[in-house]
A and B are shown apart, each in its own frame.
Chain A
Amino acid sequence: MTNSVMRDEHKVRVPWRKAYLFVLVLFIAYIAYRGYSFAMTQVLRSQENGLQSDIAARDAEIAKANESADYQTYAAGKKLILLNNKEGGRLERLSRVIEIFTKLQSLGGGNVQFSDFKIDFDLISLKGTVPNLSYIYAKNGVIDQFIMLDFIKNVAIKDYKRNEDVFEFTLTADISLDGTGSAQ
């Protein structure tokens, strides 16, 4: 069809020829794209099948391992350990908090007195007594001493009350066993 048209076209200039050629080019591009797309889909499908086979093969091997009672026990124990140890070993935390408490007891001295310690794994609170407020805010005073401790964060003293010749306050702070309370 195309050859006969071309032969005729040499003899005369024909309207619609350009339009025809344009549509023909479009059609060829269309067919080429369709062919490419079909071929690529076949390639991708074969890749997809390969991946599915690989995954199925690994699944089969994992399922085979799961048939072993020893492996099942080990895997279950491992999962339990991971689940139970999210917050770290109890022994380590107990030892660390006791160590923290002994450090807190050594703070103050002289005119600064601490008492009524309450401490658990996450929080401490204690009562403090100072002759005047300057012992709280002075350089290396109570606040400085506490914020320098690497295991303490979110230090808070909500109120101060005068009681005869002294000021009393209650200090609370979060305990940070992972060291995130280090002073910057």
Chain B
Amino acid sequence: MEQAAHNNHIDNRDPRSVLTIKYKIYIVVLIIAMAVTRGYMQASAEKHTATKESIRNLENAKMQKEAEYDQVVKDLIVVRDINAQKGAVVTCLSTRGCSNLPESLKTVVPQTRAFLQLQKNEGEKMAFDQKKILANINEYLLRGANNQSNGTVTSIVFGNLAPVTDYENIVQVPIQLTIDFQDKNGLLSFVYNVENTISPQFPMLYKISSVNYDIVKYQENQTVSIELIGYMLK
């Protein structure tokens, strides 16, 4: 009896009130659901942005890597070409004015010279093989186009062998030379030998650090101080 009265009360209740309560509950549930997952959403958005940024950086890195790789491939081709025709290349580079280099090497002459000149130079009971450097100076750097002497060396001072910064497989030795040159042609011939040709017998890579030369007296005999750096493979 009591139960029947209760059911009757529910049936007679305003359906608007029931629906309003339902809507309120749904709204609260949806808002709670959004609030609970908000942190996750934020993290997800941040991850998304970070991934996009990372991709941009990786794309740049890939472009640089591709360029580096392309250069490595080109360099390997040059090395292959030098080794394949080493005799002819050495002969040409040791001859003044030679233009018969293989086509693939014509644009990389300084690099080809450096490759052929950079060699191991270990000396017996010495830090490096001075015999080879002395021979290079005396029989190559001081020889002009006609194999005549282009100057007279009056002093040679070797510095200490030291590693080259950032080049783990190369060492360098400073060499200070004092040379008497008859006129500018002697000096220019010497510098030409350092910068443009190679010695087949005594290959050695140098850099000219300084030249103490009075240009005003270029037609006169001058004693010139030249600082060279010799490079060798470790």
Contact = CB atoms under 8 A, between A and B. Distances in A.
Interface stretch (B130-138, B139-147, B189-197): B189-197
Interface string B22-46: 1110110011011001000100110
Nearest to A40: B48
Interface string B210-234: 0101011010000000000001010
Interface string B69-97: 10010011011001100000000000000
Contacts of A14: 16, 19-20, 23
Contacts of B79: 68, 70-71, 74
A156 interface: no
Contact of A85 (B37, B82, B110): B110
A20 B27 contact: yes
A44 B58 CA distance: 12
A17 B20 CA distance: 7
Interface string A31-68: 00110011011001101100110110011011001001
Given A12-B16, A27-B33, A91-B195, A5 B26 contact: yes
A119 B76 contact: no
A61 B58 contact: no
Nearest to A89: B195
A27 to B, nearest CB: 5
Contacts of B192: 91
Interface residues of A, number: 64
B110 A81 contact: yes
Say which size band chain B's interface belongs to: 35 or more
A44 B44 CA distance: 13
Interface stretch (B5-13, B60-68, B121-129, B150-158): B60-68
B106 interface: no
Nearest to B189: A91
A51 B60 CA distance: 10
Contacts of B68: 58, 62
Nearest to A47: B55
A119 B216 contact: yes
Given A44-B48, A62-B72, A73-B118, A90 B15 contact: no
B198 to A, nearest CB: 12
21 contacts: A14-B23, A20-B23, A37-B44, A40-B48, A41-B44, A44-B51, A51-B61, A52-B58, A68-B79, A71-B72, A71-B76, A73-B233, A74-B75, A76-B167, A78-B111, A79-B167, A80-B207, A91-B191, A94-B187, A94-B211, A101-B216
Interface of A: 1, 5, 8-9, 11-17, 19-20, 23-24, 26-27, 30, 33-34, 37-38, 40-41, 44-45, 47-48, 51-52, 54-55, 58-59, 61-62, 65, 68, 70-81, 84-85, 89-91, 94-95, 97-98, 101, 117-120
